[in-house]
Amino acid sequence: MGYSHGMAWDTARTRQRLLDAAVEEFAEHGPEGARVARVATRAGINKERIYQYFGSKEKLFVAVLESELEKVAAAVPLTAEQALDLGDYAGRIFDYHREHPHFVRLLAWEGLLCQDRVAAECERTDHYAEKIATVAAAQRGGALTDTVGAGELMHAVIALTASWFTLPQLARMLLAPAGQGAPEDRREALVTLVRRLTSA
């Protein structure tokens, strides 16, 4: 009995080690440039094990994205109360990206290379649908602007926040005359801007 539990635990731990190694590899090289052999080396696990666990490099990329999405959803939830201040929500997402730059890089790679075959699209659409419903409720309650739909509002918040990390060269050029600006200043500007854009 104890043996089978040990096996299950070992499988979960091995799977997580592979996912952690794969996050680094995919964030660095993208889904096409990533190499399963390098993931195996990073994880200290035989390459064949990766195919046993995930089936293919594409499925490994899907598993990595799903795992990273679960992490950001758990770390930065959007409750009904938090939806009343999307500026604060944007600030918390900004903090998450600063601490975990892999996630936004994975999304950027996916956007460039995989438009037609997005990983776990149905599940992720459902996940975003919950956020949209929360924003729509805040719009109905009068806390957020209803000049655009809840989906457009959510997209604007995500895009404004992510662009600090996916287009850093633009930030550097646009803000160069006034100095680079500390991340805290950028965060404050983002929060202010999102509040102005989204409040009723």
In whole angstroms, what is the distance from residue 6 CA to residue 185 CA?
49
Residue 68 in domain: no
> Are both 106 and 177 inside the same structural domain?
yes
What tens digit of pLDDT does each residue of 160-184 get? 999 999 998 888 888 866 556 688 8
Query: What's the predicted TM-score (pTM) here?
Result: 0.86
Residue 71 in domain: no
Domain at 188, CATH number: 1.10.357.10
What tens digit of pLDDT does each residue of 150-163 get? 999 999 999 999 99
> Are both 5 and 48 inside the same structural domain?
yes
Helices marked H in the chain — which ranges?
2-33, 36-43, 47-54, 57-75, 86-99, 101-113, 121-140, 150-166, 168-175, 183-198
What pLDDT is recorded for position 25? 94
> Are both 188 and 137 inside the same structural domain?
yes
Q: Exposure string (b/e) for 110-135, b if CB count within 10 Å is 16 or more? A: beeebeeeebeeeeeeeeeeebbebb
What mean pLDDT comes out for the span 79-100? Answer: 96
Average pLDDT along the chain: 89
What tens digit of pLDDT does each residue of 130-147 get? 999 999 999 999 999 999
> Are both 45 and 125 inside the same structural domain?
no
> Are both 7 and 92 inside the same structural domain?
no
